[in-house]
Amino acid sequence: MLTMTHLQKVYRTHLIETYALRDFSIRVNDGEFVAVTGPSGSGKTTFLNICGLLEEFTGGEYQLDGVNVRGLDDNARSRLRNEKIGFIFQSFNLIPDLNLFDNVDVPLRYRGFGAAERKQRIEESLTRVGLASRMKHYPSELSGGQQQRVAIARALAGSPRLLLADEPTGNLDSLMARGVMELLEEINRQGTTIVMVTHDPELAARAQRNVHVIDGQVTDFDAEPSLRPATSGDAAVAAIA
């Protein structure tokens, strides 16, 4: 799905250079559910931004679904984001002035779908997250968990190949978090690749594979998804609930 090799990201001010990512290499296969963990300031978010084409990188190579991303212009990157990637943000980023229907509609508009197709996709994806009955409601009328479900619906509506989640449960209580997590697992089972950034080890444990980032470098791989103890995360979440 995506391959980063020797990726580098440097923030330059006129005095100092700060490496956010240094010689960063990773490969994510189609259909994988990868959790990227690491302490604050380790470069997780930079990785996610570059991964989702929200930021450019200063060195190395990045192949996304067979496309070499390096040197693409802003419009091409926007297009690629719109077609291939779905985003889930920690603070949901729903547009408060739009109702659920219109929120899910946003990426579809930029995709250029016709009205009928958009309507069908919006209804489908809202049904998938269980909020079809509240299409005319505004985000402020929903609970945090419900809002994140809408965000997921919005991410899914364009049938992306890759779902990027940035601390998707960070603003939720544990009960809601579990619901969202189950939804993500369900989506992954149906074939969508998911890369999730989190600093919560419990959550990371539920992914097929963990990547640990410290100081902008990958320090720890779970090479084999099957080695992961599948039950520990569930138990932890259950204990908190």
Partner 1 sequence: MEIRPILSALMRSKVSMILIGLQVALTLAIVCNALFIIGQRLDRMQRPSGMNETDTFWLGSYGFGANYDAKAQQQADLVALRSMPGVVAATSTNSVPMSGGGWGEGLSLQPGQKNSTAQTTLYITGTQGLDAFGFKLVEGRDFRPEEFTFVKFGDQPHPQSIIVSKALADKLFPDSSAIGKQVYSEDKPTTIVGVIERAQQPWMDSDSIEYSTLLPMYMPYGNSTRYLVRAEPGRRDEVMKAVEQKLVEANPSRIVGKVKSIADIRRDAYAEDRAMAIILGAVIIALLAITALGIVGMASFWVAQRTKQIGTRRALGATKADILRYFQTENFIITTLGLIAGGVLAYAFSLWLMHAYQSPRLPWYYVPVGFIALWLLGQLAVLGPAMRASRVPPAVATRNV
* Member of 12, 66, 74, 223 binding partner 1 (CB under 8 A): 74
Per the DSSP assignment, residues forming a β-bridge with 165 are 88, 196
Region near partner 1 per CB under 8 A, out of 21-29, 51-59, 63-71, 182-190: 51-59
Region near partner 1 per CB under 8 A, out of 20-28, 109-117, 173-181, 230-238: 109-117
* Member of 42, 90, 125, 147 binding partner 1 (CB under 8 A): 90
Is 67 an interacting residue with respect to partner 1 (CB under 8 A)? no
Work out whether strand 2-12 and strand 59-64 pair parallel, antiparallel, or are unpaired.
Answer: antiparallel
What are the distances in angstroms from CA 215 to CA 5, 21, 46?
17, 7, 11
Restricting to residues 190-229, name those near partner 1 by CB under 8 A. Answer: none
* Shortest Å, Cβ 239 to partner 1: 27
Rounded to an integer, what distance in angstroms lies between the CA atom of residue 178 and that of residue 172?
A: 9
Tokens of 217: 């470098």
Is 111 an interacting residue with respect to partner 1 (CB under 8 A)? yes
Restricting to residues 145-174, name those near partner 1 by CB under 8 A. Answer: 154, 158, 166-167, 170
What are the distances in angstroms from CA 158 to CA 41, 52, 79, 172, 188?
31, 15, 12, 25, 15
* Member of 10, 19, 138, 144 binding partner 1 (CB under 8 A): 138
Restricting to residues 10-49, name those near partner 1 by CB under 8 A. Answer: 45, 48-49
Q: Which residue has the tokens 């380790």?
A: 42
Is 91 an interacting residue with respect to partner 1 (CB under 8 A)? yes
Tokens of 216: 């902008």
Rounded to an integer, what distance in angstroms lies between the CA atom of residue 201 and that of residue 227?
A: 16
Task: Give which of 202, 92, 223, 204 is closest to 153, Cα–Cα.
Answer: 92
Q: Which residues bind partner 1 (CB under 8 A)?
A: 45, 48-49, 52-55, 74-75, 78-79, 81-83, 87, 89-91, 93, 95-99, 102, 105-107, 109-111, 138, 154, 158, 166-167, 170
